[in-house]
Amino acid sequence: MFTEYTQTTDSLRTRIDQIVSQALDANEMKQALHVIFTCIDLTTLEGTDNNARIEALCQKALDYRKTPDATTVAAVCVYMPFVQQAKALLTGSGVQVATVSCAFPSGQLPLHLKLAETAWVAQEGADDIDMVISRGTMLEGNFDAIREEVAAVKAACGKAHLKVILETGELHSVEMIRKASEMALLGGADFLKTSTGKINPAATPEAVLIMLDTIKEFHANTGKKVGLKPAGGIAEPETALIYYQLVKKVLGNEWLNNRLFRIGASRLADKVKAML
């Protein structure tokens, strides 16, 4: 299915520099910012989250439509207990409801309980479910277990889309990020996602480029389009634009929509909206 991956950290950085050095003109910049904004998952994943905070987050997503360009974000992402509340508040808005599963952010839970979490929140009405893989298992080299875990969670998702969080900052090497990407795709992921946002480093251009290369090869071999979601530490439009340019260069314009590209950010949306 996959060829040997020969990229190194240095070669990845060289490619990134070449891609981002291609300046966008004014029209391209406007278009890029519009895409970025409509691909944001407006997120709160804090231990202090409560009904009032979720209501405020959903209202923020709805209020964005009251601006002159009438656009809003792709989704709100909340912890599992708040999915029904968010679904009710966002009914008819077109804004999706995403959540996290599989013992987020640690991933340290027996598989049958991860599947129970996932099946429960799918029944609650989540549109997107972001699972986190077992990084300890991955680092032990038990790659088949990761593929099987993703496949089992995908089955438990029902109609919901599955985003697979690799937590690339804990995988440490080009080879390990590539292998985790391969296993997630073979397991049936609808999206690859970099990070939980709970560790540093979170999203990095190098990790995203590895994931994009893997998605591209998978699409060439299967015809299946899988999405990408960089997440964690993306607070500035300039950072988001790097990921936009990487997606555009490696996968093309077909991926530049919120069906195949998401950005996990809680601090980015207002800044991008102000630039539109």
What does the pLDDT read at residue 67?
A: 83
CA 220 to chain CA centroid, Å, is: 21
Terminal Cα-to-Cα distance of the chain (whole angstroms): 42
How many angstroms separate the Cα of 130 from the Cα of each of 83, 92, 99, 193, 211? 13, 23, 6, 8, 16
Q: Is 193 tagged catalytic? A: yes
Q: Is 225 tagged catalytic? A: no
pLDDT in tens, 107-132: 999 999 999 999 999 999 999 999 99
Task: Name the catalytic one among 163, 193, 213, 248.
Answer: 193
DSSP H/E element including 164: strand 161-165
Among 261, 99, 108, 97, residue whose Cα is nearest residue 192: 261
Q: Is 198 tagged catalytic? A: no
What does the pLDDT read at residue 265?
A: 82
68, pLDDT greater than 90: no
- Measured CA to CA, the distance from residue 219 to residue 222 in angstroms comes to 5
What does the pLDDT read at residue 73?
A: 97
Global confidence as pTM: 0.96
Question: Which residue matches tokens 């409560």?
Answer: 50
What does the pLDDT read at residue 1?
A: 86
Domains and CATH numbers, the chain: 9-24+77-234+241-255 (3.20.20.70)
